[in-house]
């Protein structure tokens, strides 16, 4: 069987213009974006975006420049846009080089599965991750934000992880509250395969419910907490469905939201939810709200 090849774009751009590039990449159906930094050039970031099909580099390049112009930023903020293809095993080998254990919040430690044996003694709850090609390693601002909010607001009971990816958020919930009912679903079968493998690595395969599904399938299940680390253009259409899967007074945690999309998402959930906390990290926003709204959302 032919090996899967991933089409990628590497974009070097000024940190102040990162959101312009990421917005365009998501608009062109990237399956995920890695963000890397060079300490010798702290004013810039490098984005590597993955695509199932070869993207139109010229169109993306032009639309990023148009986005810079709309914000009054110079074209020089975009240093380069390069196209390349990467085979699965080459991607994994390259990615593993830079992935180190990371402490998150007060209690969690995310560790690459291949470095678990080198990890010293720790009082933190360890979650091992082998990401495959699914999104969610603990290093991205949105995943980190969700993990911190889960630790702060998840008190046990039943939790639904919408678009579970690697399963990292669902596994963190179980680590924090063993014996709780935690369900993770994704519309991508490959993501569920990755999440299932990670659950096995962490000894959670028997406790964690993982399945290919959609949000509407859980109507009436009354989860105490729902977490959705998606993108704003996915969250907004789902906003009317979230209450149907939650208990009154339940907690909704959302991320994958760019700073300029924060108001759009708040407006979408404001008829049913009251905002509790908003965390901004770089260009990204993670927000927590309680079901039982009716008042206008505030920042």
Average pLDDT over residues 178-185: 97
pLDDT at position 138 is 58
Within this chain, domains 5-94 and 135-291 share the same CATH topology: no
Q: What is the domain partition of the chain in residue ranges?
A: 5-94, 135-291
Residue 284 pLDDT level (bands cut at 50, 70, 90): confident
* pTM (two decimals): 0.71
Q: Which of 173, 169, 180, 167 has its CA nearest to residue 254?
A: 169
Residue 103 pLDDT level (bands cut at 50, 70, 90): confident
pLDDT at position 137 is 55
Least confident residue range of 60-64, 82-86, 181-185, 268-272: 82-86
Q: Summarize pLDDT for 151-170 with one digit per residue, the tens.
A: 999 999 999 999 998 899 99
**pLDDT above 60: residue 296:** no
CATH of region 5-94:
3.30.70.260
Average pLDDT over residues 293-298: 39
Average pLDDT over residues 135-157: 85
Q: Summarize pLDDT for 10-49 with one digit per residue, the tens.
A: 999 998 898 899 889 988 988 778 777 777 788 888 998 8
**pLDDT above 90: residue 96:** no
pLDDT at position 49 is 87
pLDDT at position 1 is 45
Average pLDDT over residues 44-66: 91
Mean pLDDT (the chain) is 86
Q: Which superfamily is assigned to 135-291 in CATH?
A: Vaccinia Virus protein VP39 (3.40.50.150)
Give the rounded percent of residues in the chain with a pLDDT score beyond 70. Answer: 88
pLDDT at position 140 is 77
């Amino acid at each position: 069987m032919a090996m899967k090849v991933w089409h990628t774009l590497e974009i070097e751009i000024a940190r102040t213009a990162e959101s312009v590039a990421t917005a365009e990449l998501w608009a062109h159906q990237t399956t995920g974006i890695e963000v890397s930094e060079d300490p010798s050039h702290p004013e810039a970031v490098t984005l590597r975006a993955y695509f199932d099909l070869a993207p139109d580099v010229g169109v993306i390049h032009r639309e990023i420049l148009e986005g810079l112009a709309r914000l009054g930023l110079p074209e020089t903020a975009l240093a380069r846009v390069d196209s390349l293809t990467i085979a699965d095993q080459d991607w994994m080998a390259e990615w593993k080089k830079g992935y180190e254990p990371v402490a998150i919040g007060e209690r969690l430690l995310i560790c690459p599965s291949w470095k678990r044996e080198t990890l010293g003694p720790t009082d933190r709850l360890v979650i091992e991750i082998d990401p495959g090609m699914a999104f969610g390693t603990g290093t991205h601002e949105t995943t980190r934000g969700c993990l911190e909010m889960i630790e702060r607001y998840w008190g046990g009971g039943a939790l639904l992880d919408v678009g579970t990816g690697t399963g990292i958020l669902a596994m963190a919930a179980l680590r924090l509250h063993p014996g709780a009912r935690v369900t993770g679903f994704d519309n991508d079968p490959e993501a569920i395969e990755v999440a299932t493998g990670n659950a096995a690595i962490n000894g959670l395969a028997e406790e964690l419910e993982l399945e290919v599904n959609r949000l509407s399938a859980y109507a009436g299940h009354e989860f105490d907490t729902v977490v959705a680390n998606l993108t704003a253009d996915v969250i907004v259409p789902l906003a009317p469905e979230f209450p149907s899967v939650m208990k009154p007074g339940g907690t909704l945690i959302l991320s994958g939201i760019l700073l300029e999309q924060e108001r759009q998402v708040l407006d979408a959930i404001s008829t049913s939810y009251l905002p509790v906390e908003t965390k901004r990290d770089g260009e990204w926003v993670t927000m927590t709200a309680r079901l039982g709204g009716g008042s206008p959302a505030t920042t």
